[in-house]
Amino acid sequence: MEVKIGVTDSPREIVFISAATPDALEKQVTSALTAGDGVLSLTDEKGRRFLIQAARVAYVELGAADSRRVGFGVGSGPVTPPITNE
């Protein structure tokens, strides 16, 4: 599951992949934002922990992790005709 967190007064978002289910992540985010503790704590699939001040969270986007594309795809660029010697 890909997680994107927007932080107020910051031009960059925090993006990581989590092994948790969307429902579990939603419950964790909702409880952190409504509770009085003030810290959103999430862990990525590599075990790294992200601690974000709940008051600074602008948005949280949960979505399927895209497979990373490497290289050139077939038909991705302009086609040039073959050169013939006539």
**C-alpha–C-alpha distance, residues 58 and 39, integer Å:** 13
Q: Which domains does the chain have, with CATH numbers?
A: 2-63 (2.30.30)
What residues have CB less than 8 Å from 60, skipping those under 6 apart? 3, 4, 5, 6, 29
pTM (two decimals): 0.70
Cα-only R_g, the chain: 20
Query: Does position 70 have pLDDT exceeding 90, yes or no?
Result: no
Tokens at residue 72, please? 């050139």
**What pLDDT is stored for residue 64 in this prediction?**
83
From 79, 7, 86, 23, select the one nearest 15 (Cα to Cα).
7
**pLDDT in the model for residue 24:** 94
66 or 22, which is more confident? 22
Q: What is the pLDDT of residues 3-16, one digit of tens each?
A: 999 999 999 999 99
Would you state the pLDDT for residue 79? Answer: 62
